[in-house]
Amino acid sequence: MDIFHIEGPVKLKGSVTINGSKNASLPIMAASILAGGCSTLKSTPNLSDISVFSKLLICLGCKVRKDSRGNISIDSSVIDNTIGEYDIVRKMRASICILGPLLARCGKAQVSMPGGCAIGDRPVDIHLRGLRELGAKIYLKNGYIVAEVRRRLTGKNIFLGGPFGSTVLGTANILMAATLAKGKTIIESAACEPEISDLANCLNNMGAKISGIGSPRLTVKGVKNLNPIKYNIIPDRIEAGTFMVAAAITKSQLHLENCRVDHMMAVVDKLRSIGVTVEAAGTGCIVRRKGPIKSTDIITQPYPGFPTDLQAQFMALLALAKGNSIIVEKIFPDRFMHVAELGRMAADLRKEGRAVIVAGVKKLIAAPVMASDLRASAALVLAALAAEGKTIVNRVYHIDRGYEKIEKRLNPLGAKIQRKKV
Ligand code: EPU
């Protein structure tokens, strides 16, 4: 198992290019199932989650090839297996998004029911409700979701809202299934995240007829076939947000290239309000902090609100603010595994239900800490860049799921991160 030794505090300087989005790549890889033929996805990140999803597609019969420039070609001419096995799904919950495309193309699918994970309960009831509305028969057998449809899925008006807003992968699943359904589907309360818009744009390039992209009402006119394509994935807004916090927490300046600031307005607004400068520059932006960090309140919300996937990283940043901040988690109410670990680094945090009160401290102090999930581990790495001494981050495989060789990207900027095997 790999661990990080991180020496702090450091100053960062220079330029970093943001990779393609993980959370856009995964459903778009699933969309390739819908078209029998060879699709090429450009700018996919080199992450373990992408490799696991490639394995899943290979198990279904696809031929998947990846080159060093981040291009993945997926030949889905033959799908001879419609089962998403437990062994793969337990490693990555996003596997659930093969359900819609398999059902639409093959008329049947079985996917292991995803269990809970470190960020809390993650039900898939809305995915199943949506697919049932399109005419699928769905039941649970031996821990697997079994979905079948006699002839073809049929378009319908579907409401996808849930107790915590819409569902990102649920919208992806229903959207993909609806592209090949008979007639018109209207998805109300669709997720508006840029990753869903990217999927919808990709599907339209494949020949789908989707309108309302970017809004909570998606209209899909079903077509008989979709075609394979070449498609360029959008930059990863969560990776970009993490580098923005890296600049802010170390009181440094970084140039982020290939960064869609227009996908990050809530984040940029929050950074500006706490004393961090974000200026458009070329294909991205320059992020700089000179003065103290001001305290603030953050409430995570569905897009275009503040993303839950940056909540932990901002908690690390606000731990060093002047004054008290409150962070409320409205998407995954239990996504607070990083609180105790940041506390080990001398952050002053108190959890109250789905909120955390962050009392700013003058400095963070290095400690051995445990990464628990992807974004929580990113928060620990960020805290370690600013903390005094050597922080040891255990279980860095969590961070490898969503950040491509983070030490190789941060070290040229001035970080001192060593990856060690234990
Ligand atoms: N929900 C339900 N029922 C459902 C589906 C979701 O109640 O059937 C609830 C969830 O429990 C949660 C809320 O709805 O409270 C939103 O969950 P959502 O379905 O939108 O999450 P997801 O699609 O499983 C994606 C990202 C997550 C990101 C969330 C929210 C991917 C692969 N994953 O998950 O990303 O946090 O949307 O934006 O796209 C990450 O990258 O670290 C990550 C966890």
- Where does ligand 1 bind, in terms of residues with CB under 6 Å? 23, 26, 94, 122-127, 162-164, 167-170, 308-309, 331-332, 374-375, 402
Burial class for 352, CB neighbours closer than 10 Å (0-12, 13-18, 19+): exposed
pLDDT at 70 over 90: no
Mutational test site, ligand 1, from 52, 99, 122, max ligand atoms within 8 Å of CB: 122
Instruction: Give residue 122 CA to ligand 1 midpoint distance, Å.
Output: 7
Looking at residue 11, what is its pLDDT? Answer: 98
Summarize pLDDT for 405-421 with one digit per residue, the tens.
Answer: 899 999 999 999 999 99
pLDDT at 69 over 90: no
Residue 121 alpha carbon, nearest atom of ligand 1: 11
What's the CATH class of domain 22-232? Answer: alpha beta
Residue closest via CA to ligand 1's atom 33 equals: 23
CA distances from 333 to 2, 34, 120, 163, 336 (A): 29, 34, 7, 11, 8
Average pLDDT over residues 28-32: 98
Give the whole-number percent of the chain exceeding pLDDT 70.
100
pLDDT at 353 over 90: yes
Residue closest via CA to ligand 1's atom 39 equals: 23
Average pLDDT over residues 360-384: 96
The pLDDT-based confidence of 118 (bands split at 50, 70, 90) is confident
Residue 215 CA to residue 235 CA, distance in Å, equals 20
Looking at residue 225, what is its pLDDT? Answer: 96
Residue 124 alpha carbon, nearest atom of ligand 1: 8
- The catalytic residue among 38, 62, 117, 192 is 117
Looking at residue 68, what is its pLDDT? Answer: 84
Q: What is the longest distance spanned by two Cα atoms in the chain?
A: 64
Burial class for 98, CB neighbours closer than 10 Å (0-12, 13-18, 19+): buried
Residue closest via CA to ligand 1's atom 28 equals: 309
Looking at residue 116, what is its pLDDT? Answer: 64
Name every residue whose Cβ is closer than 8 Å to that of residue 14 and which is 6 or more positions away in sequence. 254, 255, 412, 413, 414
Looking at residue 355, what is its pLDDT? Answer: 98
Distance separating the N- and C-terminal Cα atoms of the chain: 6
Summarize pLDDT for 32-46 with one digit per residue, the tens.
Answer: 999 999 999 999 999
Residue 395 CA to residue 370 CA, distance in Å, equals 6
Summarize pLDDT for 305-315 with one digit per residue, the tens.
Answer: 999 999 999 99
Summarize pLDDT for 283-309 with one digit per residue, the tens.
Answer: 999 999 999 999 999 999 999 999 999
Q: Do domains 2-19+235-421 and 22-232 have the same CATH topology?
A: yes
Average pLDDT over residues 135-161: 96
Summarize pLDDT for 157-195 with one digit per residue, the tens.
Answer: 999 999 999 999 999 999 999 999 999 999 999 999 999
Instruction: Give residue 168 CA to ligand 1 midpoint distance, Å.
Output: 6
Pair 404, 47: CB distance under 8 Å: yes
Mean pLDDT for all residues in the chain? 96
Residue 195 alpha carbon, nearest atom of ligand 1: 39
pLDDT at 122 over 90: no
Instruction: Give residue 390 CA to ligand 1 midpoint distance, Å.
Output: 34
The pLDDT-based confidence of 242 (bands split at 50, 70, 90) is very high
- The residue whose two tokens read 């009181």 is 251
Does the domain at 2-19+235-421 match CATH 3.20.20.140? Answer given as no
pLDDT at 101 over 70: yes
- The tokens for 203 are 């599907």
- The tokens for 269 are 């607004």
Looking at residue 299, what is its pLDDT? Answer: 98
The pLDDT-based confidence of 114 (bands split at 50, 70, 90) is confident
Residue 308 alpha carbon, nearest atom of ligand 1: 36
Domain ranges of the chain: 2-19+235-421, 22-232
- What is the CB neighbour count within 10 angstroms for residue 350? 12
pLDDT at 115 over 80: no
Instruction: Give residue 166 CA to ligand 1 midpoint distance, Å.
Output: 9
Instruction: Give residue 294 CA to ligand 1 midpoint distance, Å.
Output: 30
For the question of residue 117 being annotated catalytic, the response is yes
Residue closest via CA to ligand 1's atom 40 equals: 309
Instruction: Give residue 127 CA to ligand 1 midpoint distance, Å.
Output: 11
Residue 331 alpha carbon, nearest atom of ligand 1: 15
The pLDDT-based confidence of 248 (bands split at 50, 70, 90) is very high
The predicted model scores a pTM of 0.97
